[in-house]
Amino acid sequence: MTLELRDVSYTIGGKTLLDRVTIAVPAGKITIVLGPNGAGKSTALGILAGDLRPSSGEALLYGVPLARLGHQRLAKRRAVLTQSQSIEFPLTAYEIVALGLLPHHWSEAEQLQALAESFAAADVAHLAARSYPTLSGGEKQRVQLARSLAQIWRPSGQGARQGDVRYLLLDEPTASLDLKHQVSILDRCRDLAQAGLGVLCVLHDPGLARRYANFAVLMSRGRVLTCGAAQTVLRPDAIAATFDIDEDHARAALSMDTGWKPSAAP
Partner 1 sequence: MMAERVIPHERAGFADLACRLRGARRTLLASLTICLGLMSILALTIGPVSIPFERVLAAVIGWNKADQTEIIVLSIRLPRVVLALAAGAVLGLCGAALQGLFRNPLADPGLIGVATGGAFMVALSIVVMSAVAPSLLAELGPYALPVFASLGSFAAIAAVYALGRRNGALSSADMLLAGIAINAMAASGIGYLTFLSTDEQLRTLTFWMLGSLSQSAWEQILPAAALATACSLALMFNAHALNACLLGEREARYLGVDVDRLKQRIIILSGLGVGAAVAVTGVIGFIGLVAPHIVRLMAGADHRIVLPGSALVGALILLIADSIARIAVPPAELPIGILTSAIGAPFFLWLLKTRRSAIQ
Which chain residues interact with partner 1 by CB under 8 A? 12-13, 46, 49-51, 71-76, 79-80, 82, 85, 87-92, 94-96, 98-100, 102-103, 112-113, 115-121, 125, 128-129, 131, 133-134, 149, 151, 156, 159, 188, 191-192, 195
Closest CA to 48 of 85, 13, 12, 81: 81
Distance of closest approach, residue 221 Cβ to partner 1, in angstroms = 21
Q: Which is nearer to partner 1, 15 or 261 (CB)?
A: 15
Could you give the CA distance from residue 47 to residue 3 in angstroms, rounded to a whole number?
Answer: 11
- Closest to partner 1 by CB, 36 or 196: 196
Identity of the residue numbered 177: L
Q: Which is nearer to partner 1, 129 or 179 (CB)?
A: 129
Q: Least distance in Å: CB of 155 to partner 1?
A: 11
| Rama region for 259: left / alpha / beta (φ>0; ψ in -120 to 50; rest) | left
**Beta carbon nearer to partner 1, 1 or 99:** 99
What b/e string do you get for 155-184 counting C-beta neighbours within 10 Å, with b at 16 or more? Answer: eeeeeeeeeebbbbbbbbbbbbbeeebbeb
* Residue 5 identity (one-letter amino acid): L
Smallest distance, partner 1 to C-beta of residue 38, A: 17
Residue type for position 144 = Q
CB of 113 to partner 1, least distance (A): 6
CB of 82 to partner 1, least distance (A): 7
